[in-house]
Amino acid sequence: MATARPVVSVYNFENPAEKTGTVVMPHALTAPLRPDLVREVHMNVSKNHRQAYAVGAKVGYDTAAESWGTGRAVARIPRVPGGGTHRAGQAAFGNMCRGGGMFNPTKIWRRWHRRVNVTQKRHAVVTALAASSLPPLVMARGHRIGEIAELPLVVSDGLESVQKTKQAVELLTKLGCGPELQKVLDSKKLRAGQGKARNRRFRMRLGPLVIYKEDNGISRAMRNIPGVETACVDNLNLLRLAPGGSIGRFVIWTEGAFKQLAEIYGTAKGGAPLKKGYNLPRAAMENADVARIINSTEIQSVLRPKLEAPKTFLAKSNPLKNKSVMARLNPGVLKRKELRKQSSEKGTAAFDMVQKKRKARVEASKAHNKTQKKGDATFYKTLMAAFEAKAAEGKAVKKADDAEEEE
């Protein structure tokens, strides 16, 4: 994302409706955006102004506590001596005790600061500068730029000689920064936490950043305007250009500072005259419109049509219902079906053969049944003859028993 304008208008600081000329757009404002790099550098650089703190060496151990030893049905942790007070007998020294020492207390030799690669810091600053010239990113950060003539906003060098804060506020209002300044005033809130008692009682949003080349009174004139900050173009700070690691700060340039920017950072190919061995970052693609590249005639003319892969799927058919599947699994089914059809048509050899077999089966069944019936009668007669003698003997015994009972 970068701007394509070759020149930028310069506005009169006393009469913004009047243009005093144009200046060439510096290559630093067309550099590719690396918000990830800005966040990383901002996180590390912001750690370099921290003040060391630590826990006192004797904190939690400033008492004559001793352990009671064993045999008293209490823990063996050191206990405060004496009597007549609640403190007597209480455990001490341990990190689990009230008023005891801290586990792994902080030390002043902690690694507070971070070293950041110089080229990495310069790339991050260039990214923040490039983002400040893009209205969508500036508006996304919350700045009110609806009344601004254009971005980047370049003002004549007379702004550097402003001496009074009242005059500076009037000039900023004429430039269209009135809504931005009012937004800052409306955002003043009481800070939450102990910071309100440590000279940080209120918090508010940030307004525009005025970048100048020579300080002829501009820093003193604007230092008491809420939200407005100033910076020299020779000493740009990422903490000012991207507060909180978020790119898109609203920047107001003086004409001299805008021209000096080209000399400080140079170009991607020619190098930076005032920064030895540094070249501006180059975009990975000259044209970021990938759709336009792919759909161009040059690319489409050498592309082959897309090959469609054959659609394969597993057929789950029931062979008992699907005849083709059954025929593929058992080819003999079709032959049997054809023979069955022929056997049902009169006048065919298959029909005569089937009828002949049927008659033979019927005659064989009749002969078998006849034999079985004759055999059944013979078996019955033999069985009855065997039991007749036994039955007669039983009747005689019963008759004799009845006669004895009567006597």
Region for 237 from its dihedrals, namely left if φ exceeds 0, alpha if ψ lies in -120 to 50, beta otherwise: beta
**Torsion angle of alpha carbons 12, 17, 20, 26, nearest 10°?**
80
Q: Residue ranges of the domains in the chain?
A: 7-51+111-283, 336-407
* Coil vs helix vs strand at 267: strand
Architecture of domain 7-51+111-283 in this structure: 3-Layer(aba) Sandwich (3.40)
Sorting pLDDT into bands at 50, 70 and 90, what band is 35? very high
Q: Is the model more confident about 31 or about 315?
A: 31
Q: Is the pLDDT of residue 395 over 90?
A: no
pTM score of the predicted model: 0.68
47-62 pLDDT per residue, tens: 999 999 999 999 999 9
The half-sphere exposure of 74 on its side-chain side, counting CA atoms within 13 A, is 10
Q: What is the DSSP letter of 158?
A: G
63-110 pLDDT per residue, tens: 999 999 999 999 999 999 999 999 999 999 999 999 999 999 999 999
Long-range contacts of 145-150 (CB under 8 A, 24+ apart): 145/176, 145/180, 145/250, 146/176, 146/179, 147/176, 147/177, 147/178, 147/179, 148/175, 148/176, 148/177, 149/9, 149/11, 149/16, 149/175, 149/176, 150/8, 150/9
Label each residue of 162-215 as H, E or C.
Answer: CCCHHHHHHHHHHHHHHHHHHHHHHCCEECCCHHHHCCCCEECCCCCEEEECCC
Q: Is the pLDDT of residue 217 over 90?
A: yes
- Classify strands 7-11 and 153-155 as parallel, antiparallel or unpaired: parallel
